[in-house]
Structure 1
């Protein structure tokens, strides 16, 4: 089989390309040719008969499948229109990329999430001038409060606010970008669980702990240690991944007072940290899953 690994050509990140090469090398161990492809090297279009077409700047043979290690949703959808299997599929990428959509969808299917309020939409050419609703949000959620922008990775664009002034300053700085407000889960301050799911199985998991930040992300200084999830935590992670029809995912759970609570789910989870923590190489499970799925 021939596969392409799509990554963003304009995102100059050694961290991303390291994972792309990692998947490429793992695929080679299974006699699969995987070609790293920048999304910026692809023209995708419709011809005069409305047939979806694709042109790569140098590759002439189309892949049997694609691993989308990017968030270029229109490109992923175009591959699907051409009947080329994409891992993860476009709608799954779309849902995971937007924390507002992800939270609404999963909460709507009975997944336990922190108490959440979706921010009112603001047009790009408008300034926020109506503030009454924020007093209602304060009454509902109290302080400290968590504010999350819809788009962001590695714990960035996630803020803790401690009073009304901080809340309004944060809202003004976010502006017209979609965001949400969530209750602060005190029992999970500075700690969470990352579970890597492939298919319908939790492959490995780790606990992340930060002594200096309410966020446990390793990028923000958190430390990881191997963790054995409870059956309830495993079941929740698998259900979240299945509801979004994901082939593989990284599910982050918080320690709620009454059991695990979903923090977020990642459609292209970074697996280097969890490998360094547990010694388990999730890329092998991803490639083996693709082989089974394509056969």
Structure 2
């Protein structure tokens, strides 16, 4: 029997969109000879007792975990117990928090939109004086992104000062960032899937009626052959974050140059398969096999 592995996924996401991909990962892992179990994050509980931490609900630990969730406490505990995670808790943490992503990649010559991290608000907005600095630094329109969000649903295009005050007041004590708006990338971006040091699949996402290109927001997807510059940006961002694999979203700059949008540590793979016919679960499991056998550093 091959190496024992777990696929950790969220026990409270039970839609077909999620369960279908867990089953998909299981099939691919089995084809590589892995002895796999699919385990919900609420089936094994991080437990602190007698000044030590352990896991409740576990009889035998695996050799590795494909961590397809964002439960950082569980991820850190598994690593503390000596288990190799794909991706690591640190990589998932950085990708899950957009402010942390940009701050982590700063000073690395990564082309990114001008970004301002919103100051901490504990309860509700009572002093909006900093919004004048935002307006002067970024102008209108500008983008507000909640730092925790998926599928483009927590991204807002702000046209004027009234909308700015309204949205910031509405967000209250949520964490978010302000960003410059790239008209050159209105309604279009790239999704580049990185495994290890390679871009293994790419697609262009384009919307005819929304500034966001996300397929969930109504965008269409097309197979795409990325340039060397686009591939270099995607791989570099993934590696700087320390991800084994990632879905890197790239915007189009004013002169067509690639601009980082965000990095996803738990990127879904059905859309990229439907668009390109490339099954990136094969690339991911092959990479895991190489790492476990010491053939990939």
TM tier relative to shorter chain: over 0.9
Partner of 2:290: 292
Name the structure 2 match of 1:13: 15
1:60-209 matches, within 5 Å, as 60-123=59-122, 126-209=123-206
- Which of 9, 30, 33 is the matching residue for 2:32? 30
TM-score for the superposition, normalised by structure 2 = 0.95
Q: Secondary structure at the match of 1:40?
A: coil
Deviation at 1:132, TM superposition (A): 1.6
Q: How many residues align?
A: 290
- Uncovered stretches (5+) of structure 1, i.e. residues with no partner: none
Structure 1 residue 168: Cα displacement: 0.8
Q: Output the CA distance in 1 between the equivalents of 2:16 and 2:66.
A: 18
Q: Could you tell me how far apart the structure 2 residues matched to 1:65 and 1:55 are?
A: 18
CA pair 208-46 structure 1, distance change in 2 beyond 3 A = same
So what's the TM-score if we normalise by structure 1? 0.96
CA distance in 2 between counterparts of 1:170 and 1:176 reads 12
Q: Distance in 1 between matches of 2:107 and 2:20?
A: 36
**Cα distance in 2 between the residues matched to 1:103 and 1:17:** 31
1:192–1:208: 8 Å Cα contact kept in structure 2?
yes
Aligned to 2:272: 274
Partner deviation per Cα, 1:261-295 (whole Å, 9 max, x = no partner): 00000001111001011100000000000001111
Residues 252, 262 of structure 1: 8 Å contact kept: yes
Contact persistence 1:6–1:67 (CA under 8 A):
yes
User: What's the offset of the Cα at 1:46?
Assistant: 4.2
Residues 196 and 250 in structure 1, CA contact (< 8 A), matched pair in contact too: yes
CA distance in 2, matches of 1:190, 1:49: 52
Q: 2: distance between equivalents of 1:49 and 1:137? A: 46
Q: 1: CA distance between counterparts of 2:186 and 2:128?
A: 28
Give the Cα–Cα distance (whole angstroms) in 2 for the partners of residues 182 and 32 of structure 1: 43
Q: Show the counterpart of 2:45.
A: 43
Taking only aligned residues, the RMSD between alpha carbons, in angstroms, comes to 1.2
